[in-house]
């Protein structure tokens, strides 16, 4: 069961007995309200790295999700969903008296999204300041791969960021692969471009696989092209770069080669929510299974192409099974 927490609790004596997994995903899960075709809103749950965790689990990958939640019915719903999807919930720390964040999705006729957020008091923001943060750190050190995003970074205070980045540095020294999706959202950084760039720069020094979206990189860094993004990320020492660029395909730059992997077919999206998150999940699952970056990108395109035909972040399981086969 997920651990209970309070700010004054003692450090978990079992912190070093971290849940083992191929992948530990770190971030925030929120209540999702998405407008259906009839104009009414449906309630679900989502969050960029959580969406990836679910699709990883559906792909047969052992995955743990690290976050902080409240003790309310919506937090219970998040835990129940994770468990139903096969995502290990040991690192979903519970903070009494708190509630998760909320986001609302409005989708245009072309499938593009607009979001509104209510998340400033989300307990996920304090994950690396809670006493149980040492359990999270131990899990990162024990993982095969750690996955997080720029949205994850935007949650934390300087103290939390320092603890996360220090843990990642040690994890890499121990042979853990660090995968990162830039996923830059200016609102999450309160418009502070200088702090955003500084935090990203420190993070990129600790990354092995970069999975950014080109539009985000252009917005944050002013990159003129996916090739420019690849060059900049390699300059940080990142060996494997996969740049998502919507219908224009994905640029793979790894092991001294660079190749554009086109989408298999043009799709009119119903909802592009979690397109990048599912792409990342299929890519990492394929790489963990021994596929080449090129093969992994093709698998990632296939899954993302199915996800955007459904409303909301997490498509029905039956549709996911069809996408795999």
The pLDDT tens digits of the residues spanning 248-291 come to: 999 999 988 999 999 998 888 887 888 999 999 999 999 999 99
Average pLDDT over residues 88-93: 98
Which is catalytic among the residues 48, 216, 271, 277? Answer: 277
Q: Tell me phi and psi for residue 311, to 5 degrees.
A: -80, 145
Average pLDDT over residues 75-80: 98
Chain centre distance of CA 271? 18
Look up the pTM and report it: 0.90
The pLDDT tens digits of the residues spanning 59-72 come to: 999 999 999 999 99
Q: What pLDDT is attached to residue 243?
A: 98
pLDDT band at 2 (very low <50, low <70, confident <90, very high): very low
The pLDDT tens digits of the residues spanning 199-217 come to: 999 999 999 999 999 999 9
The pLDDT tens digits of the residues spanning 92-109 come to: 999 999 999 998 888 777
The pLDDT tens digits of the residues spanning 137-191 come to: 999 999 999 999 999 999 999 999 999 999 999 999 999 999 999 999 999 999 9
Domain ranges of the chain: 23-324
- Cβ atoms of residues 250 and 260 within 8 Å: yes
Does residue 71 have an active-site annotation?
no
Cα torsion 210, 205, 258, 57 to 10°: value is: -20
pLDDT band at 34 (very low <50, low <70, confident <90, very high): confident
Q: Which residues of 30-43 are buried (b: 16+ CB within 10 A; e: fewer)?
A: bbbbbeeeeeeeee
CATH number for the domain formed by residue range(s) 23-324: 3.40.1190.20
Tokens (6 digits) for 215: 């539009």
Burial class (CB in 10 A: 0-12, 13-18, 19+), 240: buried
């Amino acid at each position: 069961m997920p651990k209970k927490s309070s700010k004054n609790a003692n450090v978990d004596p079992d912190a070093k007995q971290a849940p083992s997994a191929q992948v530990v995903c770190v971030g925030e899960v929120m209540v999702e309200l998405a407008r259906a075709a009839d104009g009414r809103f449906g309630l679900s749950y989502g969050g960029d790295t959580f969406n990836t965790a679910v699709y990883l689990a559906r792909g047969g990958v052992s995955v743990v999700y690290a976050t902080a939640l409240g003790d309310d019915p919506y937090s219970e719903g998040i835990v129940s969903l994770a468990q139903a999807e096969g995502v290990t919930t040991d690192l979903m720390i519970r903070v009494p008296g708190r509630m998760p964040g909320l986001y609302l999705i409005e989708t245009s006729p072309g499938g593009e999204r607009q979001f509104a957020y209510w998340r400033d008091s989300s307990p996920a923001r304090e994950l690396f300041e809670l006493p149980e943060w040492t359990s999270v750190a131990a899990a990162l050190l024990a993982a095969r791969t750690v996955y997080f995003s720029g949205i994850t970074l935007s949650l934390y205070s300087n103290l939390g960021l320092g603890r996360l980045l220090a843990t990642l540095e040690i994890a890499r020294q121990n042979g853990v692969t660090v995968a990162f999706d830039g996923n830059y959202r200016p609102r999450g950084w309160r418009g502070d471009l200088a702090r955003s760039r500084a935090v990203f720069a420190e993070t990129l020094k600790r990354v092995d696989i970069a999975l950014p979206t080109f539009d985000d990189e252009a917005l944050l860094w002013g990159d003129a092209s996916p090739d420019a993004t690849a060059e900049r990320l390699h300059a940080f020492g990142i060996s494997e770069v996969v740049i998502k660029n919507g219908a224009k395909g994905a640029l793979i730059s790894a092991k001294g080669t660079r190749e554009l992997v086109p989408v298999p077919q043009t799709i009119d999206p119903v909802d592009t929510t979690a397109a990048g998150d599912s792409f990342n999940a299929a890519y990492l699952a394929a790489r963990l299974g021994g596929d080449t970056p090129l093969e992994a990108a093709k698998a990632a395109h296939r899954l993302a192409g199915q996800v955007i035909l459904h409303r909301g972040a997490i498509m029905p399981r039956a549709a996911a099974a069809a996408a795999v086969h």
